[in-house]
C-alpha cells in the first residue's frame, strides 16, 4: 500500500507545476527539432538519422530530470522519513524509480512516433520506434536511479550523474536503436528487442539494491 | 585480511616488495624494449609498425586488469570495511585510466598506417573507450564528494555497478560492430604469434605488471601519508581553536 502511495505521490509531484514531467517532455520535443536545423531538412538523410536522434534525445531528456529524483526529498528531509517508514529503502528507491519512468519516460515514449513522423520516418516503423522505447526505457530510469542515489548529497550533481551514468547507458542505446537499424536494413528487429528487454530486466535486478546502498550512504 | 589493515604493517610490506618489483620492471623494460625495438622481426604485412604492439597490447591488458583491481578492492572495502582497500582502489584508478589512454593512443598511431584511419568504431576500440569513461566517472566520484569515508563507499558502489556492466557493454558493442582482428595470443589451440615476437611481448607484459605493482604500492603509500597529514592538520586546527 505504502509503495503505491509513494509512486502516486511522485507522479503527482512530477506533473505538478514546475515538475520534471512537463519539462522533460518539452526538452525532448525542442532538442529533437534542433537536428533538422543542424543537418539540413533533406528528408532522406533525416530518415536515416531519426531513430538514433530520438533515442539519444529521449535518453538525455530522462537524464536531466534524474538529479532531482532523490535530491528534492533529501533536502527537505522527506527521505529521512521514508527511510524510517516500514517500507524498505530498496522498495522506496524502486517506487521512486517507477514513478520516474511513469511520469518522465512514458510520456516521451508515447510522443516519440510524432517526432519520428516529423523526422520523416516511414509510418510503418513508427510502431517499432514506440515498442523499442517502451522496452528499453525502463533500463534508463533504473540505471539512472543508481546515479541519482550516488549523487544525492552532492550539490550540482547533474554533471556528475551524466559522467557516471552515460557509459552504462551504451548497451541500452545499442539494442534499442539497433532494432530500428535492423528494420531499415531489412533484417529481424526481434533479437535486438529481446536483448533490450534483457538489459531492462537485469537493471531491474540490480538497481533497487545499488540505489538503496547509495541512499543509505547519503542519509548517514 | 585484517592483518594488512594496519598502515604501518602495510608500509613495511610495501617497502619489502617495491625494490623487487622496481628491479623486475626496469630489467624487463630494458630487455623487452631492446628486443621489441631492435631484435625482433618486422611483420610481413605491417612492417615496422608492428613494434607499436609491444606497448599497445600490454597497456590494453593492464587497463582491464586495473579495473579488476579497482573493483576487487572496492568489494573488499565495502564488505570488510577495510580502509586500505578503498585507498588501493583509489590509487589504481588513475593508473588504469592512464593505461587505457595509452592503449587508445598507441592503437590510433598504429591504426593510421595499417588500417588507414586514426579511429574506427569497432567493437574492441569502442569498449576500451567506454572503459576509459568508466574510469573517469569513478575518479570524478572521488573528487566531488568531500567526506573521505562517503566518497570511498560511493565510488566503490559505482565501481561494482561498472564491473557487472562490463560484460554487457562488451557483448553489446561486439554485436554492434566488429572489424578489430581476433585475439591472437590467448586463444584455443595456442598462440598464432611467432615466437620471435612472443618473447619481447611477454617481457613487456612482465615489465608492465611489475611497474603496475610498484606504482599501486607507491600511490597507496602516498594516500596514507596524505591522510596522515590531514589528520595532523585537523588536530592542529582543533588545538588552535581552543
Which of residues 41 through 80 in chain B touch A, CB cutoff 8 A?
none
When CB atoms are compared, the residue of B137, B160, B172 closest to A170 is B172
Structural domains in chain B, CATH included, are 21-182+194-236 (1.20.120)
The Cα A8–Cα A1 span in angstroms is 11
Higher pLDDT, B71 or B147: B71
Q: How confident is the model at residue B187 (pLDDT cuts 50, 70, 90)?
A: low
* Yes or no, beta carbons of A174 and B176 under 8 Å apart: yes
Q: Once rounded to an integer, what is the mean pLDDT over residues B28-54?
A: 78
pLDDT of residue B122: 75
Q: How many CA atoms lie within 13 A of A2 on its CB side?
A: 13
Q: Once rounded to an integer, what is the mean pLDDT over residues B120-141?
A: 87
pLDDT of residue B15: 87
* Yes or no, beta carbons of B158 and A195 under 8 Å apart: no
The Cα A150–Cα A128 span in angstroms is 34
Task: Assess contact for B77 and B155: CB atoms under 8 A.
Answer: no
pLDDT of residue B189: 54
CB atoms within 10 A of CB B192: 10
Whether residue B195 is predicted with pLDDT greater than 80 in this model: the reply is no
| Residues of B in Cβ contact (< 8 Å) with A167 | 130, 133-134, 137, 162, 169
Mean per-residue pLDDT of chain B: 83
CB atoms within 10 A of CB A106: 18
* Yes or no, beta carbons of B150 and A206 under 8 Å apart: no
Longest dimension (CA), chain A: 57
Per-residue pLDDT in tens (0 to 9) along chain A, 220 residues: 788 999 999 898 888 877 788 899 999 999 999 999 998 888 888 988 899 999 999 999 999 989 889 988 898 888 998 888 888 999 999 999 999 999 999 999 999 999 999 998 989 889 999 999 999 999 999 999 999 999 998 877 788 899 999 999 999 998 998 888 888 888 888 888 999 999 999 999 999 999 999 999 888 8
A196: nearest CA partner in chain B: B172
At a CB cut-off of 8 Å and minimum separation 6, what does B129 contact? B104
The Cα A52–Cα A36 span in angstroms is 13
pLDDT of residue B200: 84
pTM summary value: 0.86
| Residues of B in Cβ contact (< 8 Å) with A166 | 133
Given CB atoms, is B140 within the 8 Å cutoff of chain A? yes
Q: How confident is the model at residue B180 (pLDDT cuts 50, 70, 90)?
A: very low
Higher pLDDT, A82 or B45: A82
Residue ranges of domains in chain A: 18-219
Task: Assess contact for A97 and A207: CB atoms under 8 A.
Answer: yes
Q: How confident is the model at residue B43 (pLDDT cuts 50, 70, 90)?
A: low
* Yes or no, beta carbons of A171 and B137 under 8 Å apart: no
Whether residue B55 is predicted with pLDDT greater than 90 in this model: the reply is no
Per-position DSSP letters for A52-118, written without gaps between them: HHHHHHHHHHHHHTGGGTTHHHHHTTHHHHHHHSSS-HHHHHHHHHHHHIIIIIHHHHHHHHHHHHH
* Yes or no, beta carbons of A163 and B137 under 8 Å apart: yes
| Residues of A in Cβ contact (< 8 Å) with B166 | none
How many beta-carbon contacts under 8 Å exist across A and B?
72
Task: Report ipTM for this prediction.
Answer: 0.84
Q: How confident is the model at residue B178 (pLDDT cuts 50, 70, 90)?
A: very low
Question: How close A59 comes to chain B (CA, Å)?
Answer: 17
Q: How confident is the model at residue B190 (pLDDT cuts 50, 70, 90)?
A: low
Q: Which of B70, B126, B137 to substitute to test the interface with A, most A CBs within 10 Å?
A: B137
Higher pLDDT, B5 or B215: B215
Cell of A131: 515498442
Given CB atoms, is B125 within the 8 Å cutoff of chain A? no
When CB atoms are compared, the residue of B145, B162, B171 closest to A154 is B145
pLDDT of residue A124: 87
Task: Assess contact for B73 and B58: CB atoms under 8 A.
Answer: no
* Yes or no, beta carbons of B141 and A214 under 8 Å apart: no
Cell of B64: 582491464
- Which of A199, A96, A191, A92 has its CA nearest to residue A138? A199
- Which of A163, A164, A175 has its CA nearest to residue A138? A175
When CB atoms are compared, the residue of B145, B150, B168 closest to A171 is B168
pLDDT of residue B179: 39
Q: How confident is the model at residue B91 (pLDDT cuts 50, 70, 90)?
A: very high
Tens digits of residue pLDDT in A69-79: 998 889 888 89
Q: Once rounded to an integer, what is the mean pLDDT over residues B62-69?
A: 91
Amino acid at each position: 500500500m505504502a509503495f503505491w502511495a509513494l509512486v502516486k505521490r511522485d507522479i503527482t509531484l512530477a506533473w505538478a507545476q514546475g515538475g520534471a514531467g512537463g519539462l522533460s517532455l518539452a526538452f525532448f520535443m525542442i532538442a529533437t527539432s534542433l537536428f533538422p536545423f543542424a543537418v539540413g531538412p533533406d528528408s532522406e538523410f533525416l530518415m536515416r538519422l531519426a531513430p538514433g536522434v530520438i533515442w539519444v534525445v529521449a535518453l538525455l531528456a530522462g537524464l536531466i530530470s534524474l538529479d532531482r529524483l532523490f535530491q528534492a526529498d533529501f533536502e527537505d528531509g522527506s527521505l529521512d522519513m521514508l527511510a524510517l517508514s516500514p517500507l524498505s529503502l530498496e522498495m522506496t528507491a524502486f517506487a521512486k524509480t517507477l514513478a520516474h519512468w511513469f511520469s518522465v519516460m512514458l510520456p516521451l515514449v508515447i510522443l516519440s512516433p510524432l517526432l519520428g513522423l516529423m523526422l520523416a520516418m516511414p509510418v510503418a516503423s513508427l510502431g517499432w520506434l514506440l515498442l523499442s522505447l517502451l522496452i528499453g526505457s525502463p533500463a534508463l530510469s533504473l540505471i539512472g536511479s543508481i546515479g541519482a542515489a550516488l549523487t544525492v548529497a552532492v550539490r550540482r550533481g547533474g554533471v556528475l550523474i551524466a559522467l557516471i551514468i552515460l557509459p552504462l547507458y551504451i548497451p541500452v542505446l545499442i539494442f534499442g536503436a539497433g532494432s530500428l537499424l535492423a528494420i531499415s536494413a531489412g533484417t529481424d528487429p526481434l533479437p535486438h528487442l529481446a536483448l533490450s528487454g534483457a538489459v531492462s530486466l537485469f537493471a531491474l535486478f540490480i538497481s533497487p539494491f545499488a540505489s538503496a546502498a547509495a541512499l543509505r550512504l547519503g542519509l548517514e | 585480511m585484517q592483518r594488512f589493515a594496519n598502515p604501518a604493517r602495510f608500509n613495511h610490506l610495501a617497502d619489502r616488495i617495491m625494490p623487487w618489483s622496481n628491479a623486475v620492471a626496469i630489467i624487463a623494460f630494458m630487455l623487452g624494449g631492446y628486443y621489441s625495438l631492435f631484435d625482433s622481426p618486422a611483420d610481413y604485412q605491417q612492417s615496422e609498425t608492428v613494434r607499436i604492439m609491444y606497448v599497445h597490447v600490454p597497456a590494453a591488458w593492464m587497463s582491464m586488469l586495473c579495473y579488476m583491481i579497482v573493483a576487487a578492492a572496492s568489494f573488499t572495502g565495502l564488505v570488510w570495511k577495510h580502509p586500505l582497500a578503498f585507498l588501493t582502489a583509489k590509487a589504481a584508478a588513475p593508473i588504469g585510466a592512464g593505461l587505457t589512454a595509452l592503449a587508445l593512443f598507441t592503437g590510433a598511431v598504429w591504426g593510421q598506417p595499417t588500417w588507414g584511419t586514426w579511429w574506427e568504431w569497432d567493437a574492441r576500440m569502442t569498449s576500451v573507450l567506454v572503459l576509459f569513461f568508466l574510469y573517469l566517472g569513478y575518479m570524478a566520484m572521488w573528487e566531488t564528494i568531500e567526506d573521505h569515508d562517503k566518497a570511498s563507499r560511493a565510488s566503490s558502489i559505482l565501481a561494482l555497478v561498472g564491473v557487472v556492466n562490463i560484460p554487457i557493454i562488451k557483448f553489446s558493442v561486439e554485436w554492434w560492430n566488429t572489424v578489430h582482428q581476433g585475439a591472437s595470443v590467448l586463444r584455443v589451440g595456442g598462440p598464432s604469434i611467432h615466437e620471435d615476437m612472443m618473447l619481447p611481448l611477454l617481457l613487456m607484459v612482465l615489465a608492465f605488471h611489475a611497474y603496475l605493482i610498484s606504482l599501486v604500492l607507491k600511490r597507496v603509500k602516498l594516500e596514507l601519508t596524505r591522510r596522515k597529514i590531514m589528520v595532523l592538520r585537523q588536530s592542529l586546527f582543533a588545538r588552535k581553536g581552543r
